[in-house]
Amino acid sequence: MENKDNKKRFTNFLKKQGFYIALFVCLTVLAVVTAITASNTKEARKVAKNEAANNVQQNQKMNSKTKDALVQEDKKIDNAVEVKNNSNSKQKKNVANNSKKEVSVSKISQTNFIKPVEGKVAMKYSETPVWWETSKSYRPNFGININAKVGTSVKAIADGKVKKVDNNGSFGTTVVIYHPESGKTSVYGNLDKKLKVKKGDKVTQGQEIGSIGKTSLRGMSQEVGSDFLHLEILKKADGDPQFASENPEKYIKY
């Protein structure tokens, strides 16, 4: 009899409190699911954050390498220009301290060069790096590039002697002439391989030495292409152009 009463009481309790028990169970399950989801979300965010940090570090390393390469390239160019400037400063100081040398330099500076070709200067002399279209890079131009058609006759700017004929430089077929009267050297690049002179020949001012060709490995814009003469003037008979070069327009007016 007592067991029946207990069962009846339990049944009545379930009827009255069953809704709240079910609600409690549901809330408990929901809380557990929410906690698990939040934990997974937090972990996913942590993983994503770590991946982003790693990507940033990798990008910074790549940018650093690229920047270092550019800095090294700039240092090479700056060092070349600095050496040239230091050389110029020493020469000026020596001239100021020696009156005889000053007179000698004064006489040498009175050059009478003529135009090697008629045309317009498409690229000026620049110790500061300028854009070269073919190599897609910035490089100094230790001469001037005169726009003239392929096949145009090229003349010696003054009397002199052919020091060198070269076919392997960046400006293609090149003729180098030393001018004893001025003590300077002229360099003519992007010439046709069929030249009118050879090493050791003596030339006179205005004499044809060759014609403009398509031999230069360096080019400028699409408008100019290979239609140009590269002209350099060096202060002395020997030496690297980047240390001995002068602006040709100082002596030849275009």
Give me the average pLDDT of each 10-residue run along the chain (254 residues): 55 60 69 66 61 54 47 50 52 47 44 94 92 80 94 98 93 96 95 97 98 85 77 79 84 95
Final residue in a domain of this structure, among 64, 88, 110: 110
Q: Is the domain of 104 the same as that of 145?
A: no
Final residue in a domain of this structure, among 56, 79, 110: 110
This prediction's pTM: 0.58
Final residue in a domain of this structure, among 78, 110, 142: 110
* CA 193 – CA 150 distance, rounded (Å): 12
Position 111 scores a pLDDT of 76
Report which of 238, 226, 130 is spatially closest to residue 187, judged by C-alpha positions. Answer: 238
Q: Is the domain of 238 the same as that of 199?
A: yes
Q: Which domain holds residue 8?
A: 1-110
Q: Is the domain of 171 the same as that of 218?
A: yes
Position 170 scores a pLDDT of 86
Position 35 scores a pLDDT of 66
What is the tally of structural domains in the chain?
2
Q: What are the C-alpha distances in Å from 193 to residues 55, 197, 209, 212?
A: 53, 11, 11, 9
Position 48 scores a pLDDT of 56
Q: Is the domain of 236 the same as that of 120?
A: yes
Position 116 scores a pLDDT of 98
